[in-house]
Structure 1
């Protein structure tokens, strides 16, 4: 099987131990872990019989083996006093300390490297010419307490997906910057990634509908950002 190099991410902590595995021929998972396929092709997971873990998807493994181009493995922890722990770790208050703003805490961000993706396949976008492009992948964790609406927005200059690490949350889509205009919920429990990045590529940028993350319980989630190089 050979030596496997585990790259610990800067935001790895008692909240969740987080590592990256590259060009992995085989690695054994021995304790519950969220496994995220961050690459542009299928990874494979299993125990005796392997199954595909598609690009931009994730699962929880309690054992077995994983193989793939670029994977993140994050420990499954029982998180208590998550906000206090995140603040003690120095996570930034995204909205600052202004009264009335949501509690949205962000860990340090790591640049993981370059990933080749075909936006026509990744975004399931009809009419987009096929072809691989290079993206710079960045990753960080977020925390919000139960009942938090994290902010409706529609601006990103990158492709983004979210993987739930602890708690229950959701990605929500809206027709305007108004909670009453909600038209879709994508429910996220630990180990889930929102199924397809919901942006369109237009002339080198990415267009999103109005959307937000909502924390139904205290939540920690992983954000993956793919920036067009």
Structure 2
């Protein structure tokens, strides 16, 4: 049984990773994302793999591995919160250097790896965001890379396209606080052209999952 605190959300959000917890109380309000292949339980409900919910003053059970995001609902002035995040986090272009991110109002926390799982918070400030369609994750050369995104603040949408052109859009999922889009990868880790787009200024968490035989880029 372990509980690991991640500091990437400080001082805005409290993030913890739970592993092999038979029971864990939820105080106040929290977003819970199940990272395990097996379901976790809350009262009479089962939360499946890579599904997330908002829970309030309850208990989760049979937790093989999950991430808790707490404190996201404690901010009375959302505009002020997002302004402070922009003052704290660098732009994604500064960190990643990808041309599609140049001039985009997209900010990111530090990234942390816990085993094969990578966690990063992003703040998307403009509407529209125009972050750019992509389908490759070049830092993971081993087939089977997986990634999902969990909405924390604001509203967004995950878009999938047939080609590198938003006009070829064929699937769009709306994302509200506490929600995680359905996985879009196939068994080999192949992705369609996709992008996150804002409906309102937003914060979300990206969860990257490396297959066996792959190692975090920092290693």
Give the alignment's TM-score, normalised by structure 2. Answer: 0.82
- 2:67 is matched with which residue: 53, 69, 72? 72
State yes or no: 1:52 paired with 2:46.
Answer: yes
User: Is residue 2:163 matched to residue 1:164?
Assistant: no
Matches for 1:81-120 after TM superposition, within 5 Å: 81-89=80-88, 91-96=89-94, 101-113=103-115
1:179 equivalenced with 2:174 (yes/no): no
Q: Given that residues 167 and 219 in structure 1 are in contact (C-alpha distance below 8 angstroms), is that contact kept between their aligned partners in structure 2? A: yes
Aligned to 2:207: 224
**1:10·1:109 contact (CA, 8 Å) conserved in 2?**
no
1:13-24 matches, cutoff 5 A: 13-24=10-21
1:94, distance to aligned residue in structure 2 (A)? 1.5
More strand by share: 1
Using the TM superposition, name which of 164-173 and 146-155 deviates more: 146-155
The 1-side partners of 2:9 and 2:165 are apart by: 35
Q: Report what 2:216 is aligned to.
A: none
Matched, 1:36 2:36: no
1:138 aligns with one of 92, 115, 118: 118
Displacement of 1:45 in angstroms is 1.3
| Corresponding residue number in structure 1 for 2:181 | 194
Report if the CA contact (8 A) 1:12-1:19 is conserved: no
* CA displacement at 1:10 relative to structure 2: 2.3
Tell me, what secondary structure is at the counterpart of 2:206?
A: strand
Please give the secondary structure, in 2, of the residue aligned with 1:153: coil
Contact 1:43 1:66 (8 Å CA) reproduced: yes
TM-score by length of 1: 0.79
Q: Distance in 2 between matches of 1:159 and 1:169?
A: 20
**Structure 1 vs Structure 2 CA RMSD:** 2.0
Q: What's 1:63 paired with?
A: 57
- Contact kept, 8 Å, 1:95 with 1:103, in 2: the verdict is no
Gaps in structure 1 of 5+ consecutive residues? 114-135
- Bigger mean CA offset, 156-165 vs 73-82: 73-82
